[in-house]
Copies of this chain bind each other. A is one copy, B any other.
Amino acid sequence: MKLDERHLIQLAAVVNAGGVSEGAELLGMTQPAVSRTLAILEKRLGEALFVKGRRPLRPTPFGRALADHGQAMLLSSRKASELVDNFREGRTGAVRVAGTQFFMDGLVSNLIADFHVARPDVRVIQSYGYMEELQSAIRADRVDLAICPVDVLDGDDLEFRSILPGRNVVACRVTHPLLMKRKLRGSEVLDYPWIAPPLNSPLQADMRALLLSFGSTGVSVPYVGGSLASAINYLKRTDALTILPHGVVFAYRKEREITALPLRVPHPERALGILKLAGSPQSPAIAAFTDFIIKGFGSLADLIKRHEQSVVWKA
């Protein structure tokens, strides 16, 4: 016999609370409503659920057995409600974020860690890619948002929000000989080996432009294609140089192992930003994550600005 789940839940509440009024209160309902439900249930079942005529309301064995199942449903229902609430406030859910390797590894991963302090139950699913791939990933709904440098955006279905000026620096270890010089000329960087960023990376082009501006005639590039962790490990142990986003080098300043040469590097035309589907409704968790990323980069930008005033950059 099929019976209404809500009825069983009400029964459970009444049995638990020890009275119709209390049970109703427990459910946020009025007593008559619950009372009628019980009457209907008893009528349909043709069987008493409570010993009648006794005031401290006592369920029959049958009533109690039924109430047990109702209780299970009540608990499930509560949990479902909680799940929904958590989800709606972005405490639960999943964010699929993608981006270029160096930014994801150097900056975003830190922010994700911070994000999880407040929202540990939001799953972050990270992947890597460059502009075109990222765009198509977003359009195909394989990714919720991308964090990457963008110059031109084709199509108006995507929305780009800039979060950090596109600025690169020449990175080296803190004990690098060039840092000792009183006067550093740009061309001197050509005397050291260079690490090249991964193929297809926008940094690849940036590095070429940089070296050309210093009059490159064939620099030594003994290491290519490693991701950020590899590049940094290599930097730490050699006098090699490489090009990195300023923010990334900045984020590593605490470890006092790598730093940037005080050299002005030509600005690329791109800014780092967040790319997402324009105007599509997004889950609260994604919104919260996006927000957090924006704020995080905002304060990073502030930090960099303040830090900048104490450093003299040479041309």
CB <8 Å contact, A80 and B3: yes
A residues 23-74 with Cβ under 8 Å of B? 28, 45-47, 51, 61-62, 65-66, 69-70, 72-73
CB <8 Å contact, A6 and B3: no
CB <8 Å contact, A283 and B5: no
Tallying the copies of this chain within the complex gives: 2
* A80 in contact with B61 given A5-B6, A73-B5 (CB within 8 Å): no
CB of A172 closer than 8 Å to a CB of B: no
Choose from B6, B8, B62, B83 the contact partner of A66 (Cβ within 8 Å): B83
Q: How far is the CA of A66 from the CA of B84 in the complex (A)?
A: 8
In the complex, what residues of B have CB within 8 A of residue A79's CB?
Answer: 69
Q: Is the interface of A mostly helix, strand, loop or mixed?
A: helix
**Number of residues in A with C-beta < 8 Å to the partner?**
36
CB of A220 closer than 8 Å to a CB of B: no
List residues of chain A with CB under 8 Å of any chain B CB: 1-6, 8-9, 28, 45-47, 51, 61-62, 65-66, 69-70, 72-73, 76-77, 79-81, 83-85, 87-88, 93-94, 141, 281, 283
